Structure formats: C-alpha cells, structure tokens
Amino acid sequence: SQKIEQNSEALNIQEGKTATLTCNYTNYSPAYLQWYRQDPGRGPVFLLLIRENEKEKRKERLKVTFDTTLKQSLFHITASQPADSATYLCALEETGANNLFFGTGTRLTVIP
Amino acid sequence: GAVVSQHPSWVICKSGTSVKIECRSLDFQATTMFWYRQFPKQSLMLMATSNEGSKATYEQGVEKDKFLINHASLTLSTLTVTSAHPEDSSFYICSAPRGSSEKLFFGSGTQLSVL
C-alpha cells in the first residue's frame, strides 16, 4: 500500500539548534515533494518544493534534501527559534497526477 | 502572495442540518480547487477536486451526494455538507494552485462541529 510517513509525531529541540525532520514514502513515484508548515487551527503554508532530479534546496534557514533511492526527504531548520514551533507536513505529487498526498506531520517545539 | 479565503472559520450545527463552506481565491483565478478533511492529529485527506464549470472529482470513499461541491466561478468553490452527523465533525480546508505553480495556497480552514 502507499504510505507517506513522517517518523516523528513530535520533536522537541533547543533554541539555536538544527531541527531535522524526516519524510519517507512507499509505493509512490513522486515528480516532486513539498514541505508545508501548519499552525493550530490554520491551513498549511507552503515552504519549499524539491523535484525528483534535485538533491537539495535551500531557502534562508531552511534546507530540504531528496533521495529517490532511499525514498526519503529530510527537512532542516538551522538556528531554530521558538517561532518555528509548528507542525510540518511533507506532501508529494506523482508524475502525471494532479493532487498532493500528505504525510501525517511532525509537531516541532523549539524550547527557549 | 496569493490568498485563499475560507468562510466560516468555525460552525456548530445540529445533526441533520446542512452546512455550506465557501472558498475564494482573492487575487487569482482558480480553475481547480481542492477540498481536504483533517481529523485531530491526522494528515490532510483529499476529499474532492473542484473544477470550474464541470463536475467535481471525488476520492474513493467520499459520498458525492453528502458532500456537494459547486465551482460556479473562477474564484469561488463551495462545499455543502448535507444532513450532517457527528461523525462529519472535522476540520475542512480548501486549497488552490495559482496558474501553473505546483504549490498550493490554502484557506484558513473551517472547524465543523455537529451536535
């Protein structure tokens, strides 16, 4: 069966450290993978997109890697801040499809 | 950036009544909009794809007669939960892509509570 797993439901990290979130997928052939941030009671907000032929993408303190052999994406937040506390969702779209499938999310808490 | 507006933010209704949720693209035209449902501590589950001027496409297991979708204009899609029951209580979120962009712009969501 198809699965998108974010293997940490919750992650606590000290302010200033690098947070690393993991997204693993099974039985998908993604054209690209996206990461979103969701705050409680709100809709997700797009952060980064990485395509199947890209290894790494950066945006300010954010970095995403994509390994199609391992079927895994890693999402890093460097110099983490309490304001980074939120749930982070990975999502992928398969080649030729027209909708996103979401992982279960990781709730990140950055402790001051 | 692109903005998607969703109303109402929350609604409480009695079992058996119908509830309409609106999703508007404020600064762009959306020929396609997506409706998701999210239960507590679970991920977003796609319910249906709303297509302007044509019938919506429903995901497997979603009752089209219960969740009525209308996409009558390029900036508005509505989801009507008909004869709502307590098990329909959930967080409903709409989203839309802008142009050919792959990323989605999400509404702020609607928390539905059916008593």
CB within 8 Å: A42 and B111? no
Q: How far apart are CA A24 and CA A70, in angstroms?
A: 8
Q: How far apart are CA B53 and CA B44, in angstroms?
A: 25
pLDDT tens for residues A55-104? 999 999 999 999 999 999 999 999 999 999 999 999 998 877 777 899 98
Name the DSSP class of B39: -
CB within 8 Å: A43 and B111? no
Q: How far apart are CA B115 and CA B101, in angstroms?
A: 39
Band of pLDDT at residue B70, cut at 50, 70 and 90: very high
Dihedral sign, CA of B43, B37, B98, B54? positive
Residue A35: partners with Cβ closer than 8 Å, 6 or more residues away = A23, A47, A48, A49, A62, A64, A73, A75, A88, A89, A90, A91
Q: Which of B43, B46, B102 sits opposite A89 (nearest CB)?
A: B43
Q: How many CB pairs under 8 A join A and B?
A: 51
What phi, psi does A82 have (nearest 5°)? -55, -30
Residue A54: partners with Cβ closer than 8 Å, 6 or more residues away = A66
- Looking at chain B, the whole-number percentage of residues with pLDDT higher than 90 is 77
For residue A9, the model assigns a pLDDT of 86
Interface residue of B62, B103, B111, B113 to substitute, partner A, most A CBs within 10 Å: B103
Biggest CA–CA distance in chain A, Å, is 44
Band of pLDDT at residue B1, cut at 50, 70 and 90: low
C-beta separation of B95 from B4 below 8 A: yes
C-beta separation of A31 from A42 below 8 A: no
How close is the nearest chain B Cα to the Cα of A55, in Å? 18
In 3D space, the residue among A3, A11, A6 whose CA is nearest the CA of residue A110 turns out to be: A11
Per-residue pLDDT, averaged over B57-72, amounts to 93
Quote the mean pLDDT of chain A.
93
